[in-house]
Amino acid sequence: MRELLARATDFAVPLIDTIALVVIAIGTAEALVRGLRGMLISRSTRVEREVWLGYARWLVAGLTFQLAADIIETSVAPSWDDIGRVAAIALIRTFLDFTLEREVSAREHPE
């Protein structure tokens, strides 16, 4: 059974890491295009905030996939380095998610 789980992990982890990479690359490309367009067409801080808010969503999605891959990898053969990496990614993802939620809330309910 352990061998089967190890083989499944060997397949799943690179696949999920690739998904994370693709999500972050798409988000980065979109932020670059929207950011350049915003700088050339409009100097509005609203447009700038929308670009970075959208980019943060892409990053959170990518980090979520990366965290999933790391959790799967760590569950099979955990080392302290693996556990530390998972904790660091979870912390970064949680911080980004918290910041994103705060920004979305501020935009929906301006004071």
Q: Could you tell me if 70 and 86 are in contact, meaning their C-beta atoms sit under 8 angstroms apart?
A: yes
Residue 18 has what pLDDT? 97
Predicted local distance difference test score (pLDDT) of residue 108: 62
Please choose, from the candidates 102, 77, 93, the residue with its C-alpha nearest in 3D space to the C-alpha of residue 13. Answer: 77
For Cα atoms 79, 81, 87, give the angle at the middle one, nearest 5 degrees.
105
Contact 67, 86 (CB under 8 A): yes
CB distance 35 to 51 below 8 Å: yes
Domain ranges of the chain: 2-108
1-14 average pLDDT score: 87
Give the number of other Cβ atoms within 10 Å of residue 109's Cβ. Answer: 7
Distance between CA atoms of 27 and 61, rounded to whole angstroms? 9
Tokens of residue 79, six digits: 């080392």
Least confident of 7-16, 64-73, 76-85, 101-110: 101-110
Q: What pLDDT, in 10s, does the model give residues 92-110?
A: 888 887 887 787 777 666 6
pLDDT at 31: 95
Examine the pLDDT at 111 and tell me if it is beyond 70: no
| pLDDT value, residue 97 | 79
Does the predicted model carry a pTM greater than 0.75?
Answer: yes
**What's the pLDDT tens digit per position in 13-57?**
999 999 999 999 999 999 999 988 888 887 777 778 888 888 988
Is the C-alpha dihedral spanning 11, 61, 91, 18 positive or negative?
A: positive
